[in-house]
Each structure stands twice: as structure tokens, then as C-alpha cells.
DNA sequence: AACCAAAAACTTACGGTGTATGTTTATCTT
DNA sequence: AAGATAAACATACACCGTAAGTTTTTGGTT
């Protein structure tokens, strides 16, 4: 268009890792990880499949990048809140993110080589517990308990064959009708008297279980503070203020509090 | 061999659904679901890949069958225990089963069309809560909280790049060394002062979180029994003894207690 | 403005996947 | 012993990730 002597320049829109990952997430959100193929991704980016490999080492690397991008979407625990409400907010955000990207629950590799967003997120969560008065060991307990619950809930929510309350009622009615008569009475009761109740929505369970866990952690913390009953091999200080990491060089935990 | 006039009879060992599913589980246990291909499964069964389709509708059906077989391995909650120890035992068993078959955590379809072992298991768990004094609604809370935790824990455990304490220490040391210096101080602290502690084993976290959830449920139950503060849309009786399911025909929950 | 290396696109090709379809063989009933 | 049925085998297809080779575009230097 601009140059009349040559054929149309056809301004090829250039690819980069971010655009690739973003497009891949759109595909996976819509059709799950199994819908994400390099050829399909190439189509969406107006590019041949192989061109993607200029920006991504392989499909695993791509999925890893997607997982890290997802972690970047989670609201970090706020420094101005107490540990409980900070963790509560980020947990709610975490669950929303996992509900938005259901495929993310099945990505295994986030533990093997986590990306920067993942590392930052974990560091902040751990820091929130430490600054809230948790010992290193109790921080590990808390971190494990909370995140196990969130991941598991997201997985269960994802595996349900319905989303909206209307779908739920319709699906539950069908499943109830298909249930062998009298063989699973408690399951039938729960379905009939709870799931089929107007306004039932499985997602509402999330906060119930989350608060169960958080209250339990609070109790654990208070017990710890009243009497200093630390298990034997915990060498860490309870308060992190002046604590130093046993690294090559000594590092104050507060060093990167302002990200 | 036996008949000299005809060629060797070659007694083809016949296939059936159980043998197919069992062999598939062996493959998936060893190499994950991605190692499970129809051709590989056929090899293991001394059969062509396509012959498997005489016993299984398609690969999804196969995986579904595998998942149901896994549920059959979980120890059912005992009727002779109180709800808390019954659920505790079956939860520990559940986790062991998921650790033995890590691929099972990612099987989505178990919610969509559950097999008989899955249904029986769920019915028993729900029944245990109901007989323990949980209302229908609180049973839903308890079921969701406990299983979310178990699933999530199994997923986290699976995604760790190490299994044994030795592997853990070695891996943690490497990851710690690779961590950008000072950028993730809390993560580094947790790794150095907890994960690298002799005898650390992530699996030990399971009971901590499980008891946190179970204690929380007990508190929830006691609160409920002291004052009858039921949320508005719960129509179920708190005690299930003489309760009947709102089905076409009335069914006593005790009807199938002896499986 | 002309050149040229480097980056990023495209093209082709290969082995592996699930499974539709058609054929052959084994087994069961009579 | 024979015919029917079930379950095996064989072939083929479309799609997958990606290795290897080729062409085009881009950006920096003259």
C-alpha cells in the first residue's frame, strides 16, 4: 500500500513470548489443555505452528509459561492486613483464578521449575505467615494446608458437570433419577435434599472450608504463643524480624518487602 | 503341541475389561497417564491395540474404569468407629491410594459419570457424617472440605520433584542455590531452615492438615448441637435415624448399610 | 540507499497418537 | 459337525509434537 513499486509489504505482526502465552491461555480456557495444539495456536496467531518455536522451547515450556502467567493473576497478600485476612483475600483470588483457568490445576511442572511470578507469590505468602507470628515449621503447615485445600477445591469444582445453579438442578435431577434405586441412600438424600434445593451452588462451599482451615490455623498459632511447645527439630525463631537465612550471605527477610 | 495333525493351537489368552484396566493401571502408575497408549497397552496384553476396543468403548472409558478401580482400593469408613476416626482412617487410605496412583488426581471424569465403586464409596462417606450427627447441609460442608484437602494434598505431593528424604534434601539444596540471591528471602528461609532439616518429609504434613480440618468439623458439629442454628434452606433432620429420602419410593438409609 | 548478518517466518517430513473400518480367526451353541 | 457370535488382527486416516532445512523480514552498518 505505502510503496507502489513493490508488492504490498504485508506487515507481518511479529510474535513474542507474551503474545504466544496469552493466546495459548485463551485456547486452554475455552477448551482445556487438550484443545491446545501447536497448529491451532499457530492459526490463532496467524502463523505456522513451527514459528512458535522461535519464542518457546517446546510445548512444556509453553505450558510452564502459561502457569506462571496464571500465578501472576493472583492477588498477592497485602502487607497492611493481618495474616488471616491477607491470606483469606489471596485465597479467594487464587480460587477465582483457578476457576477462570481450570486447566491450571493439572499443570504438574509448576513445582519442578517455577517461574518468577510463582516464586514471588510463594515468597509473599510465606512471608505473610512469618510476619503473622508463625514459626518456620508452622508456616510450612499453614502453607500446605491452605494451598492443598484451594487446589483440591478447584479440582472438585472443575470436575463437576455443571456450573450455573440451573445446570446444577437439571443435572442433579438426571443423576438422581439414574441412581440405582435404594442402593446409595445417603447420596440420594444429599442430592435430593441439598443439591436440588433452590439456590444451591457448589462454589459457596469454598468459604466454609477455607474459614475452617484458617480458624484452625489461628488456634494452632495461639496455642503456640501461649506455651512454647515447639516440636524438636524446629530451629527457627518464632518472630522473623531479626531472623537471618542460613545462606552464603545473610539476608534480611524484610529486604524485598516492597516489591 | 498337543495336537500333532494341526498347527499349534496357540491358546490365545482371552481379554476382559478387568484385565485391560489392571494392565492400564500398571502402565499409568509407572509412567503417568501420558505413558498409557493403546498400542503400548496392547503390547503388554500380547494383543493388537484395536482388540482392546472389544472391552472398552474408547480411551476415556478406559480411564474412567481405571478411576473407579482406584476408588475400590480406598478403605471404606468403618461403621463401628465414630465419624471422626472413621473418616480419618479412610482419608489416610485415600491419600495412600492417590500416592500409589498419582495420575488419578488428574482424572476429571470421575465427577461426570462415576462408576459403582465411586458411588458406593461416596455413599458410605456421606452416611458416616449423617450417622455422626451432621445435618445434610453440614455433611455437604464436611464432604467438600475433607475431600478438597485430600485431593489438593495429593496433587501437591505429586508435583514435588522429589520423593524420598534424600532426594528432597538434594533437590532443595539445588533449588536453594539457584534461587536469585535475596529476591525471595522467605522462600529461602523456609527451604534452608525447614526443608533442608534432616528428617524433613513433605508427606508428614498430611496429618497436620487433616486433623486441622477434622477438628474444625467437630467444632462445627458441636456448635450446631448446642444451639439449633440451621441456615434457612436446610430442610433435613439433624439425626438420620428415621429419615427418609425424598425419592419416588421411600428408602431407609440403613437399608444398604451391610454392603 | 545498499548491503548483509541475524532473527523469525515458512515448508517439508517423520514417528507416534486414537480409532473407524473391514477381514480373519477362535469360541460357543446346537 | 456346522453355523453364529465374539474377539482377535490388519489397514488406513487425520492429527499430534517437533527436527531439519529453506525463505523472508528486519535492523544495524556502511
**CATH number assigned to the domain comprising residue A240:** 1.10.357.10
**Which residue is closest to A198 within chain B, CA to CA?**
B233
Q: Identify the pLDDT of residue B254.
A: 40
Which residues in chain A are closer than 8 Å to B212, comparing Cβ atoms?
A: 141, 145, 213, 216-217, 220
**Which residue is closest to B240 within chain A, CA to CA?**
A186
Q: Do A27 and A113 fall into the same domain?
A: no
The reply to whether B55 has its C-beta less than 7 Å from any atom of strand D is yes
Q: Which of B108, B152, B161 sits opposite A152 (nearest CB)?
A: B152
Which residues in chain B are closer than 8 Å to A126, comparing Cβ atoms?
A: 186-187, 189-190
Q: Do A109 and A223 fall into the same domain?
A: yes
B-facing residues of A in 41-100 (CB < 8 A) are none
Q: Which of A150, A185, A220 sits opposite B251 (nearest CB)?
A: A185
Q: pLDDT of B202-233, one tens digit each?
A: 999 999 999 999 999 999 999 865 554 444 33
Q: Identify the pLDDT of residue A12.
A: 59
Cell numbers 495420575 correspond to B103
Q: Identify the pLDDT of residue A162.
A: 83
Q: Do A230 and A110 fall into the same domain?
A: yes
Residues whose CB falls within 8 Å of the CB of residue B55, separated by 6 or more in sequence, listed in order? B15, B16, B17, B20
Q: How many domains does chain A have?
A: 2
The span from the CA of B14 to the CA of A138, in Å, is 55
Phi, psi angle pair for B237, to nearest 5°: -70, 150
Nearest Cα neighbor of A163 from B119, B111, B125 is B111
* Binary contact (A256, B185; C-beta < 8 A): yes
Distance from CA(B31) to C1'(C25), angstroms, rounded = 34
Residue pair A209/A153 in contact (Cβ under 8 Å)? The answer is: yes
The reply to whether B60 has its C-beta less than 7 Å from any atom of strand C is yes
- Considering only A40-44, A81-85, B57-61, B234-238, which range has the smallest mean pLDDT? B234-238
CA dihedral B68, B74, B77, B80 (to 10 degrees): 120
Q: Do A123 and A248 fall into the same domain?
A: yes
* Binary contact (B246, A144; C-beta < 8 A): no
* Binary contact (B130, A189; C-beta < 8 A): yes
B-facing residues of A in 171-200 (CB < 8 A) are 176, 179, 181-190, 192-195, 197-199
Chain C footprint bases within 7 A of protein beta carbons: 7-12, 16-22, 26-27
B18 is a domain residue:
yes
The reply to whether A233 has its C-beta less than 7 Å from any atom of strand C is no
Q: Which of B176, B186, B246 sits opposite A192 (nearest CB)?
A: B246
Counting one residue from A and one from B, how many pairs have CB atoms under 8 Å apart?
A: 261
B52 is a domain residue:
yes
B105 is a domain residue:
no
Q: Do A146 and A209 fall into the same domain?
A: yes
Distance from CA(A40) to C1'(C8), angstroms, rounded = 19
Q: What is the mean pLDDT of residues A144-168?
A: 92
Which residues in chain B are closer than 8 Å to A112, comparing Cβ atoms?
A: 159, 161
Chain D footprint bases within 7 A of protein beta carbons: 6-11, 15-21, 25-26
Which of A187, A250, A254 to mutate against chain B (most B CBs within 10 Å)?
A187
Q: Do A81 and A144 fall into the same domain?
A: yes
Hey, is the C-beta of A139 within 8 angstroms of any chain B C-beta? Answer: yes
Which of A136, A154, A160, A186 to mutate against chain B (most B CBs within 10 Å)?
A186
Q: Identify the pLDDT of residue A108.
A: 72
Q: Do A2 and A119 fall into the same domain?
A: no
B22 is a domain residue:
yes
**Which residue is closest to A144 within chain B, CA to CA?**
B205
Q: pLDDT of A224-250, one tens digit each?
A: 665 544 443 333 434 343 333 333 333
Which of A67, A146, A154, A190 to mutate against chain B (most B CBs within 10 Å)?
A190
The reply to whether B48 has its C-beta less than 7 Å from any atom of strand D is yes
The span from the CA of A172 to the CA of A176, in Å, is 6
Predicted confidence band of residue A115 (pLDDT cuts 50, 70, 90): very high
Q: Do A52 and A82 fall into the same domain?
A: no
Residue A76 has pLDDT above 80, yes or no: yes
Q: Which nucleotide is nearest to A39 (CA to C1')?
A: D16
**Alpha carbon separation from A45 to A14, A39, A61, A161, B182 (Å, rounded):** 10, 10, 18, 31, 38
Nearest Cα neighbor of A175 from B112, B86, B101 is B112
Residues whose CB falls within 8 Å of the CB of residue B204, separated by 6 or more in sequence, listed in order? none
Q: Identify the pLDDT of residue A51.
A: 95
Three cell numbers written together for A10: 504485508
Which residues in chain A are closer than 8 Å to B94, comparing Cβ atoms?
A: none
Percent of chain A scored above 70 by pLDDT? Answer: 81
CA dihedral B206, B207, B208, B214 (to 10 degrees): 120
Q: Identify the pLDDT of residue A244.
A: 36
Domain range holding B31? 13-56
Predicted confidence band of residue A95 (pLDDT cuts 50, 70, 90): very high
The reply to whether B5 has its C-beta less than 7 Å from any atom of strand D is no
HEC assignment per residue over chain A: CCCCCCCCCCCCCCCCHHHHHHHHHHHHHHHCHHHCCHHHHHHHCCCCHHHHHHCCCCHHHHHHHHHHHHHHHCCCCCCCCCHHHHHHHHHHHHHHHHHHCHHHHHCCCCCCCCCHHHHHHHHHHHHHHHHCCCCHHHHHHHHHHHHHHHHHHHHHHHHCCCCCHHHHHHHHHHHHHHCCCCCCHHHHHHHHHHHCCCCCCHHHHHHHHHHHHHHHHHHHHHHHHHCCCCCCCCCCCCCCCCCCCCCCCCCCHHHHCCC
Which of B147, B152, B167 to mutate against chain A (most A CBs within 10 Å)?
B152
A14 is a domain residue:
yes
The reply to whether A6 has its C-beta less than 7 Å from any atom of strand C is no
Three cell numbers written together for A74: 493472583
B150 is a domain residue:
no
Tell me, what CATH number does B33's domain have? 1.10.10.60
pLDDT means per 10 residues, chain B with 259 residues, are 38 82 97 95 95 95 96 97 98 98 86 90 98 97 98 94 86 90 94 93 96 98 63 39 35 39
Predicted confidence band of residue A204 (pLDDT cuts 50, 70, 90): very high
A85 is a domain residue:
yes
Q: Do A144 and A210 fall into the same domain?
A: yes
B26 is a domain residue:
yes
Amino acid at each position: 500500500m505505502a510503496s507502489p513499486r513493490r508488492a504490498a509489504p504485508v506487515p507481518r505482526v511479529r510474535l513474542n513470548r507474551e503474545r504466544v502465552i496469552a493466546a495459548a491461555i485463551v485456547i486452554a480456557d475455552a477448551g482445556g489443555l487438550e484443545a491446545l495444539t501447536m497448529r491451532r495456536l499457530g492459526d490463532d496467531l496467524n502463523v505456522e505452528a513451527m514459528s512458535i518455536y522461535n519464542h518457546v522451547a517446546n510445548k512444556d515450556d509453553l505450558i510452564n509459561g502459561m502457569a506462571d502467567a496464571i500465578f501472576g493473576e493472583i492477588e498477592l497478600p497485602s502487607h497492611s492486613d493481618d495474616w488471616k485476612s491477607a491470606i483469606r483475600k489471596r485465597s479467594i483470588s487464587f480460587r477465582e483464578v483457578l476457576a477462570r483457568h481450570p486447566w491450571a490445576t493439572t499443570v504438574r511442572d509448576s513445582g519442578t521449575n517455577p517461574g518468577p511470578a510463582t516464586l514471588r507469590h510463594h515468597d509473599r505468602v510465606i512471608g505473610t505467615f512469618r510476619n503473622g507470628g508463625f514459626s518456620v515449621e508452622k508456616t510450612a503447615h499453614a502453607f500446605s494446608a491452605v494451598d492443598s485445600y484451594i487446589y483440591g477445591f478447584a479440582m472438585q469444582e472443575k470436575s463437576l458437570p455443571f456450573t450455573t445453579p440451573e445446570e446444577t438442578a437439571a443435572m442433579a435431577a438426571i443423576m438422581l433419577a439414574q441412581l440405582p434405586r435404594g442402593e446409595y441412600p445417603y447420596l440420594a438424600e444429599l442430592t435430593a435434599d441439598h443439591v436440588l434445593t433452590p439456590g444451591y451452588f457448589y462454589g459457596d462451599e469454598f468459604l466454609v472450608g477455607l474459614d475452617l482451615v484458617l480458624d484452625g490455623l489461628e488456634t494452632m498459632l495461639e496455642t503456640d504463643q501461649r506455651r512454647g511447645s515447639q516440636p524438636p527439630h524446629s530451629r527457627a525463631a518464632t518472630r522473623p524480624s531479626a531472623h537471618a537465612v542460613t545462606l552464603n550471605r545473610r539476608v534480611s527477610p524484610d529486604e524485598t518487602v516492597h516489591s
